[in-house]
A and B are shown apart, each in its own frame.
Chain A
């Protein structure tokens, strides 16, 4: 019997991710991923002054404000062939790194951990054993018996109250949850602590960006931070030192808590290295430029193709030359008019809604292609590409992670097994550890450059009369982000944002090739069709973010997932 399961959390006005899977004999036999909201923000930008594009782009998404702002100024600067001062690169890099660390911490603890941690089992945990377990993994100072007790009491209070509050909707007691009580408690205690450190990451962004959640310090040609070593009001030594303190606390949490927790979870659930593979093509854009010329990058980019027998194919490094030419979007299964794949500079966004038809149009997400094929983006892509290219920090943290996971699992987990649901989580933790190291490095680059007497932060733009084209890329927390702009006499003529979730949540293309989410769901075991936890685990491993949209409070509450038999 084939069952059709629809996971659809929507009745709010903005629209979200919807997942439809067909389950045959307990396994996913087909999958459709759709976004129920029109992605047409680009239209707002047409005819606007190119210098202001980033202010609007920053509002595309309320969670990833800074990433859109940065990609947008980079696109306009690329069109103008305008270099920005080294200080501006470093300040932007520190903002990007801390936005990413914030995102990765939130994703692991708030949005994913409870797919694996059974809160109802915590009451059975032995406090001494939990504390000893924690100390085995890490030297984190907040793993004491007292900390464990506080977390256990919090869990007990909410469970005993009969009203699970924020913990409602967890698939507690599900067959696929199999941590021991102490392991559940350990990660739950860090789930509670994580909020404090994700806030500190945001504070770094706020100090440099002037304000959060919408930074104010960007400008086409650089940043608007005044640099003066001796001034309290400007960015000087006093403020740099205060940032460094916050950065140290965030890095410590990432490397001493989030990273070991991810390794532990991956070791306990090592069977999830065998599920959720996804695409054969991976894509990442280089980021964190080290100089004003943007000639060297600290985060590697490229693409990587595995052949059908899983041997590694070509791995090509690019700055942005190939990327610039080879990206297109196909709308065969998306609610837009058009019949051929278009390059983003020529991209059209003309809606044509037809309702959900599995064999025709079923989503508002266009299918993004690299060289005519779907590709997976995100931390996994970046880690695989970095590792293949011999990127030192990626190798260092990946090797530590794989050793740690293998030792907990009791059998060897290799690099190629990262191509899986659990591998995506682990790759995100590896990337976070790499970024925490790079944060210190880019802080030092900034401090050294300022100490040399370089205070410049901005090169003024000048717009030619004719038409120019640019692309701004950023390796965002969810992967390769690109903003594509056509400017005519200083005003925006066309604008397209190809966001990471466009790549990963791509529908089938005209050749029937599935996007990464859909491909990853195939073959997933579903123990209970009423509680499709396994499908959620795989979707969550991508860090999905579909909304880029509005949020109205719905006092009547919402209806959630339904299942029906076909």
Chain B
């Protein structure tokens, strides 16, 4: 188990909700990491998120967030702010989200010491595989926020000499007619 997790959260079929998966794939395409860092696209795991957070020292999550601010705005949250979210009644496996996941881990005594949520304010959650323009323009800002956090944690990451294309298979064009 690698002690640091950088994970994208969201559904790649619902436009700006795919921000997290897009950012982590871009990150993996541009940067090299040491053996203690795992970069993952976790989709929308609900309470299963616990499975991926348990045993980590530090976690950086990238997700879309709901806020009144301008689409594309990058907002950061730490543990205390995330825990302040209200707990929803259990209506299904999706309902327990990030706040519930961390509260459950607190109950078990296994919450990570450090958590940073890098959120983008979305514009469109319609069906579709492409990010909206303001959200797409914010991918680089999210990458900067992640690199800053890694520096704060004292974790090494280096730009790759030749950048690869990110593996966003869901944005590939349709086959030619």
Top 9 nearest A-B pairs (CB, nearest first) are A62-B44, A557-B86, A550-B17, A166-B103, A550-B11, A547-B94, A62-B43, A550-B14, A165-B103
Cβ–Cβ contact A166 & B107, under 8 A:
yes
The answer to whether B95 and A16 have CB atoms under 8 Å apart is yes
- Given A40-B127, A195-B50, A202-B48; A166-B117 close (CB under 8 Å): no
- Interface status of A233 (Cβ within 8 A of chain B): no
A interface majority secondary structure: loop
Q: Find out whether the CB atom of A47 lies under 8 angstroms from the CB atom of B175.
A: yes
Given contacts A38-B127, A63-B46, contact A552 B122 (CB under 8 A): yes
Bin the interface of chain B by size: 35 or more
Residue on A with the closest CB to B104? A166
Whether B98 is near chain A, meaning CB under 8 Å from some CB there, is yes
> How many whole Å from A102's CB to the nearest CB in chain B?
8
- B66/A551 in contact, CB under 8 A: no
**Contact A111–B88 (Cβ < 8 Å):** no
Is B94 within 8 A of A62, CB to CB?
yes
Whether A558 and B88, one on each chain, are in contact in the complex, defined by CB atoms closer than 8 angstroms, is yes
Any B CB within 8 A of the CB of A55: yes
Determine whether the beta carbon of A59 is less than 8 Å from that of B92. no
Assess whether B46 is in contact with A556, with CB atoms less than 8 Å apart: no
Given the interface pairs A111-B90, A202-B51, the reply to whether A553 lies near B41 with Cβ below 8 Å is no
Q: How far is the CB of A155 from chain B (nearest CB, A)?
A: 9
Among A47, A550, A561, which residue has its beta carbon within 8 angstroms of that of B44? A550
Interface size range of chain A in the complex:
35 or more
Contacts of B13 in A (CB 8 A): 41, 44, 56, 59-60
Query: Across the interface, which residues of A come within 8 angstroms of B66, CB to CB?
Result: 12-13, 552-556
Indicate which residue in B12, B93, B122 contacts A111 across the interface (CB closer than 8 Å): B93
The answer to whether B154 has its CB under 8 Å from any CB of chain A is: no
Within B44-79, the residues touching A (CB, 8 Å) are 44-48, 50-51, 54, 63-67, 75, 77
Contact A43 B11 (CB under 8 A): no
Q: Shortest Cβ distance from B117 into chain A, in angstroms?
A: 6
Is there an interface contact between B175 and A48, defined as CB atoms closer than 8 Å? yes
Other-chain residue from B51, B65, B89, B104 in contact with A552 (beta carbon distance below 8 A): B65
In the complex, A41→B127 CA distance in Å? 7
**Known contacts A59-B170, A550-B14, A555-B66, then 20 further A-B pairs from the complex at CB < 8 Å, ordered by chain A residue:** A55-B169, A63-B46, A65-B43, A111-B92, A114-B90, A166-B87, A168-B86, A168-B87, A195-B54, A536-B89, A540-B90, A546-B94, A551-B10, A551-B17, A551-B97, A552-B65, A555-B119, A558-B85, A558-B86, A559-B86
In the complex, chain A residues 1-32 whose Cβ is within 8 Å of any chain B Cβ: 7, 9, 12-14, 16-17
Is the C-beta of A412 less than 8 angstroms from some C-beta in chain B?
A: no
